Amino acid sequence: MTDYSQLEKRLNYTFKDKQLIIEALTHKSYKKPYNNERLEFLGDAVLDLIVGEYLFNKFPNSNEGVLSKIRASLVNESGFTLLAKTIDLGEYIFLSSAEENNNGRHKPSLLSNAFEAVIGAVYLEAGLEKAKEISISLLEASHPKIDLDSLSKDYKTALQELTQASHGVTPQYELLGSSGPDHKKEFEIAVTLNNEIIAKAKGKSKKEAQQKAAQIALEALKA
Amino acid sequence: MTDYSQLEKRLNYTFKDKQLIIEALTHKSYKKPYNNERLEFLGDAVLDLIVGEYLFNKFPNSNEGVLSKIRASLVNESGFTLLAKTIDLGEYIFLSSAEENNNGRHKPSLLSNAFEAVIGAVYLEAGLEKAKEISISLLEASHPKIDLDSLSKDYKTALQELTQASHGVTPQYELLGSSGPDHKKEFEIAVTLNNEIIAKAKGKSKKEAQQKAAQIALEALKA
């Protein structure tokens, strides 16, 4: 598709230099003298700053540990894939037919990288303020409630999305046991994938232990 | 010291809001209701973008792997400590007397964090362009030659600086052996600290193996 008007409409930005948006949409499999990896490198840093500053202002009383944690839950492959999907970015990516047949247009890594590249391209052409406006508007539309509680709830969802995409299965949570006196009970939960334990965690409630286990599993699967 | 005029002169920037620069210079040990950690969080992302964009423009033909590698060699604790020292930032940091007696004013982590916080403060008050101007001018003054070759040479220097600061000793390099035919020889080098091997690496020359070993040791010591 070489008509970017729909994409530009969704971004609320019209590129002056069409070669720039073409580069941002070109996956390396497409075998052109250019691809979107350099713009992705730039866009990655642009998004880190934009989301960091947004949280810095939104949570004036949170320390940097909390800010880093919230940012990490937004600025990652599944977070950017979500944003890419809201603008149907996959439709516009140039990729090899092999990659196309391999479901490339729907791959989280490909979508997330192209999203970063597009934001890098906006930054280059129109500056930080414009890139900020676009990114924050997409972010807020996809995350109606940005706070520590609701973001940490996303670990289980994120894990499920990841394992369904990569393994075609849903993770299961198993209570391994509980310990301690009633007023200070601790629960241990295991996450399993195809009946195999992939992570364990303890928490003050089953819910907390599940979240922690999901987070550990997510990190392990991504590494 | 509460006269910032010398520091502002070295930065080539005068803060309008003096509370902002005070916050950027306040280490958490100083036990105030504020400290520089939130500004450090912001400044870290600002510097990542500034240096990333600088390299993106300076090396139009390098791929993102190369750009990431060069950035990693500039954007790290020893890199920022170097910049902090060129503006005598240590003199201006507010810290507890315990931290002061513990040589805190010269600690790389403390200097590097304060440097990030100062850049974060400039960004907040004066925007990205001003932060860029200041950072790039300090960076270029400290690294007269920014290219892949001379930056990768810095691993041995960086390791030496780190081990001298943290252990009071200089790392030693030992040839463990070489293998392969003459036209394709490989050398294996160990870095030792107090006669204990802290990293090993192979390379096509002794120099290359030393650099790689120093890089691995650096990463291990920082982790």
What CATH number does the domain containing B203 carry? 3.30.160.20
pLDDT of residue A99: 95
Of B45, B64, B67, the CB nearest to A48: B45
A66 close contact with B: CB closer than 8 A:
no
- Whether B5 has a pLDDT exceeding 80, the answer reads yes
**A91-128: b (≥16 Cβ within 10 Å) or e:** ebbbbeeebeeeebbebbebbbbbbbbbbbbbbbebeb
pLDDT of residue B152: 53
- State whether B126 and B21 are in the same domain: yes
- In chain A, residues 126-165 whose CB comes closer than 8 Å to chain B: 128
CB A50 within 8 A of CB A136: yes
Q: Which residue of B has its CA nearest to A124?
A: B53
Instruction: Write down which residue in A99, A122, A149 finishes a domain.
Output: A149
Q: Round to whole Å and give the CA distance between A87 and A102.
A: 22
Q: Show the beta-strand stretches assigned E in B156-209.
A: 172-179, 186-193, 196-203
- The nearest CA of chain B is from the CA of A66 a distance in Å of 10
- State whether A50 and A129 are in the same domain: yes
B40 close contact with A: CB closer than 8 A:
yes
And the tokens for B132? 């860029």
- State whether B101 and B181 are in the same domain: no
- Residue of B200, B63, B199 lying closest to A34 (CA atoms): B63
And the tokens for B69? 């590698």
A109 close contact with B: CB closer than 8 A:
no
pLDDT tens digits along B133-168: 999 999 998 887 766 555 555 688 778 878 887 888
- Whether B220 has a pLDDT exceeding 70, the answer reads yes
- State whether A144 and A36 are in the same domain: yes
Positive or negative CA dihedral for A122, A73, A76, A87?
Answer: negative
Q: Round to whole Å and give the CA distance between A125 and A131.
A: 9
pLDDT of residue A148: 56
Across the interface, do A42 and B63 touch by the CB < 8 Å criterion? no
- Whether B100 has a pLDDT exceeding 90, the answer reads yes
Of A38, A41, A49, the CB nearest to B46: A49
Domain region containing A164? 154-222
Q: Round to whole Å and give the CA distance between A64 and B116.
A: 13
A34 close contact with B: CB closer than 8 A:
no
pLDDT of residue B201: 92
- Residue of A105, A89, A92 lying closest to A2 (CA atoms): A92
Best mutation target among A27, A28, A41 (most B Cβ atoms within 10 Å) is A41
Indicate which CATH number applies to the domain containing B82. 1.10.1520.10
pLDDT tens digits along A88-97: 999 999 999 9
pLDDT of residue B114: 98
B66 close contact with A: CB closer than 8 A:
no
Instruction: Write down which residue in B117, B146, B175 finishes a domain.
Output: B146
pLDDT tens digits along A67-77: 998 898 899 99
| pLDDT values of chain A reduced to their tens digit, one per residue, 223 residues | 467 889 999 999 999 999 999 999 999 999 899 999 999 999 999 999 999 999 999 988 888 988 998 898 899 998 999 999 999 999 999 999 999 999 999 999 999 999 999 999 999 999 999 999 999 999 998 887 766 555 555 688 778 878 887 888 889 999 999 998 887 889 999 999 998 999 999 988 888 899 889 888 987 887 6
Which amino acid makes up residue A51? V
Residue A167's alpha-carbon distances to A155, A194, A202, in angstroms, are 17, 9, 25
- State whether A38 and A64 are in the same domain: yes
B contacts of A56 (beta carbons < 8 Å) = 38, 41-42
- Whether B222 has a pLDDT exceeding 80, the answer reads no
- Whether B24 has a pLDDT exceeding 60, the answer reads yes
- State whether B61 and B122 are in the same domain: yes
**DSSP per residue, A158-222:** HHHHHHHHHTS---EEEEEEEES-GGG-EEEEEEEETTEEEEEEEESSHHHHHHHHHHHHHHHHH
Of B40, B46, B56, the CB nearest to A41: B56
Residue B186 among the catalytic residues: no
CB A187 within 8 A of CB A197: no
pLDDT of residue A2: 63
pLDDT of residue A160: 84
- State whether B126 and B205 are in the same domain: no
CB count within 10 Å of CB B169 equals 13
Q: Give ipTM to 2 decimals.
A: 0.70
| Residue whose pair of structure tokens reads 């949409």 in the numeric block | A25
Across the interface, do B49 and A53 touch by the CB < 8 Å criterion? no
For residue B199, the SS3 value is: strand
pLDDT of residue A103: 93
A contacts of B128 (beta carbons < 8 Å) = 128
CB count within 10 Å of CB B33 equals 5
- State whether B158 and B138 are in the same domain: no
Q: Which residue of B has its CA nearest to A62?
A: B38
More confident residue, B209 or B167: B209
CB B184 within 8 A of CB B177: no
Residue B154 among the catalytic residues: no
Q: Which residue of B has its CA nearest to A33?
A: B61
Q: Which residue of B has its CA nearest to A44?
A: B49
| Number of domains forming the structure of chain B | 2
- State whether A144 and A176 are in the same domain: no
CB count within 10 Å of CB B216 equals 17
- State whether B186 and B114 are in the same domain: no
pLDDT of residue B212: 87
Q: Which of B23, B44, B77, B99 is catalytic?
A: B44
Instruction: Write down which residue in B126, B146, B166 finishes a domain.
Output: B146
- State whether A166 and A127 are in the same domain: no
Q: Which of B77, B99, B116, B154 is catalytic?
A: B116
- State whether B165 and B91 are in the same domain: no
And the tokens for A64? 């940097």
DSSP state of B26: B
Task: Provide CB contacts within 8 A for B171, sequence distance 6+.
Answer: B156, B159, B160, B163, B191, B192, B193, B198, B214, B217
Q: Round to whole Å and give the CA distance between A91 and A85.
A: 9
pLDDT tens digits along B115-135: 999 999 999 999 999 999 999
